[in-house]
Homo-oligomer: A and B are copies of this chain.
Amino acid sequence: MRIVVLAGGVGGSRFLLGLRHAVPQAEITVVGNTADDITLFGLRICPDLDTIMYTLGGGIDEQQGWGRAGETFTLREEFAAYGVEPQWFSLGDRDLATHVVRTQMLGAGFPLSQVTEALCARWQPGVRLLPMTDDRVETHIVIASDGDQRRALHFQEWWVRLHAEPEALDIVPVGADEAKPGAGVLEAIDAADLVLLPPSNPVVSIGTILAVPGIREALVETMAPVVGLSPIIGGAPVRGMADKTLAAIGVPATADEVALYYGADLLDGWLVDTRDAASVPTVEAAGIRCREIPLLMTSVSSTAEMALAALGLAAEVER
């Protein structure tokens, strides 16, 4: 079975751990979000790709869900001593080595897809990890500035430095309109038996992947079932600040509204948490098959259960 998974960082990675556990024989291709990427200290950082790679490769800091286990922070200390900015983005030494290797390869002319493949040769994540695009796309957040002014800042600055506190007036995946799907992405969707949308952020993770021209179209057109899992549980995001990003694009943070935002042309099936059972009729009325199950990814085995439920729903909706 060939499964394509669109994934952000922490949520996507945890879901993938469960999926890999549930169907160890499946060929899993992950289309990773790269719109969180940022260049700091001259180094190209791909937080979502790395979180997936480290999580599935056994190198993640399991407590926080991102960054490396056994991390040290000598370079951060040195950067501060040199007074170079930014100091709000925590870069560990082990993680930094990944960025140095990546930046060197990108500088030598390799596309991000080949760089990611080279990095994965070490981590052996057990999935094929494809960047959503080899082009540069960076999510910017529009916030209010003095008076009637607005200004845009990089997603990471809003998320990490400002803790998503200034209201996001708009969210713009800069560069997405001119980006092409990454090497292998359309081919993987075309060959897939099943496409899954894990409970990643629907706006700045899955949403930016879908913003790359050609990817959403391929998902609409594929004969394979497309099944998603709600990132909103009991009317609130389980982790992260998905509600704030949904508000920015005018989507209420409910399990049904996220499904409608993805669209009935895209989604064939949708899983909501048992606490959101009231959402089921709305989603079904839109023409998306919907089921309620416990959606908390509290362990690999509970997540594997979720993955199996998604596979079950996919079998039901087989086009």
Which residue of chain B has its CB nearest to the CB of A79? B97
Q: Which residues of B contact A74 (CB under 8 A)?
A: 72, 74, 93-94, 97
Given contacts A78-B97, A82-B122, 12 further A-B contacts (CB under 8 A): A41-B101, A42-B104, A42-B107, A74-B93, A74-B97, A75-B93, A75-B100, A78-B93, A82-B97, A82-B101, A82-B119, A84-B101
Q: With A74-B93, A94-B74 given, is the CB distance from A42 to B82 under 8 Å?
A: no
Determine the distance from Cα of A82 to Cα of B105 in the docked complex, in whole angstroms.
12
A303 at the interface (CB under 8 A from B): no
By a CB distance below 8 angstroms, the chain B residues around A119 are 82
By a CB distance below 8 angstroms, the chain B residues around A75 are: 75, 93-94, 96-97, 100
* A residues with CB within 8 A of B: 41-43, 72, 74-75, 78-79, 81-84, 93-94, 96-98, 100-101, 103-104, 107, 119, 121-122
A83 nearest in chain B by CB position = B122
> Within the assembled complex, what's the spacing in Å between the Cα atoms of A121 and B84?
12
Can you sample 16 A-B contacts with CB below 8 Å? Answer: A41-B101, A41-B104, A72-B72, A72-B93, A74-B74, A75-B100, A78-B93, A79-B100, A81-B122, A82-B97, A82-B98, A82-B101, A83-B121, A84-B104, A93-B93, A100-B100
CA A104 – CA B91 in complex, angstroms? 16
Chain B residues with Cβ under 8 A from A83's Cβ?
121-122
Min Cβ gap A2→B in Å is: 29
Contacts of A79 in B (CB 8 A): 97, 100-101
- The smallest C-beta distance from A289 to any residue of chain B, in angstroms, reads 44
Residues of B with C-beta under 8 A to A122: 81-83
